[in-house]
Structure 1
Amino acid sequence: MSITTTKLTRAAGLCAVAGGLLFIGVQINHPHVDAGLVTTTEWEVRQTLKVFMAVLSLIGITGMYLRQVKQIGVLGLLGYLVFGAGYLIMMSIEVVGAVVLPTLVHSAPGYVSDVLAVATGGHAAGDIGLMLPLSGVGGITYLAGGLIFGIALFRANVLARWAAAVLAGGTSPPP
């Protein structure tokens, strides 16, 4: 089997689809997030799937970028880099959720509850260190990067324009 640009592009496309399906899948019947959930098998499975989702999505957007690198221009590069940073931060936070929080839930339940509160859009009652700015930067890079990258994809007019519009709109914050 020879590795070709076409095969790599198709593989990246499949990764993007798989990442999107995982993004939808982990939201189905999502339980209320609290410190009690962190010790369950369901938490471990969901967090692991979220890590895979971020990795597959990063591979997918890399393939999209490389497929049309000439047409997408500087705006596309900027969007790709910011969006990619958002996925890397998301992956890091999900790894912390899968690996670190379950080990701390019994010795530092307040910290775990505060990290979960920030992760679900709330506020921490105590100090959670760099998890607070990391969560904020992750959200900003994901939203801004998705919007910029989606606009650049739409303008490049290589991939389906409706899909680029969905990407730009789907990662934009609600009004």
Structure 2
Amino acid sequence: MNNIVPFFLLIFLTACTTSSSLYNFDYPLTNQTAESQYMDLSVKIPQDWSAVEDNECYCIDILLINKEKTASIKFVPINVDSLVLSNDDKLEKILTFSKKFREIALRDKFNQIDGDEFFTIGSLKCAAYKYLNEEKIIVRVIVFSFNKKYFESIATPVSYESIAKDKLSRLFNVQNSTLLSISSR
């Protein structure tokens, strides 16, 4: 009996500290890359997706759109003052910053879906959350650090009708897969 308690405690602690995502990262990627024009960042383009030039605001580093034009994945830099970030829990602070930004943008209509997700893809430590946007569409945001810069990867269906629940999981799988392919330009 004395040996069983530590065994179950070990299993419980392992389950609570898991660093795997809720979604896979096995979506096929092409050999083509999408490169940021502003930062030292590139990703492989997913199969049946393409890279698109940013609009005139220059606020998106990389924009990927699926061939059906029903979903997009954006890579956006997060610009925060380094004094705001202490040495502890930087990823959690960036996650909080990202959510606060959405709360302000959506005013009092910010509605987070599920809890926060903390995981590692390759050597990239990530934190994610999902929320309902203005059109009540589920959007997933992943924050991460690459080359001492912080970014958001934002996966968005175009409309509620365009993404069924199984396709939404696939979109988040594509999002994770692109993160696995991140490299310097």
- TM-score calculated relative to the size of structure 1: 0.25
With a CA cutoff of 8 Å and minimum separation of 6, indicate the structure with the bigger relative contact order: 2
Structure number with higher strand proportion: 2
* The structure with more helix, counted as a fraction of residues: 1
| TM norm structure 2 | 0.24
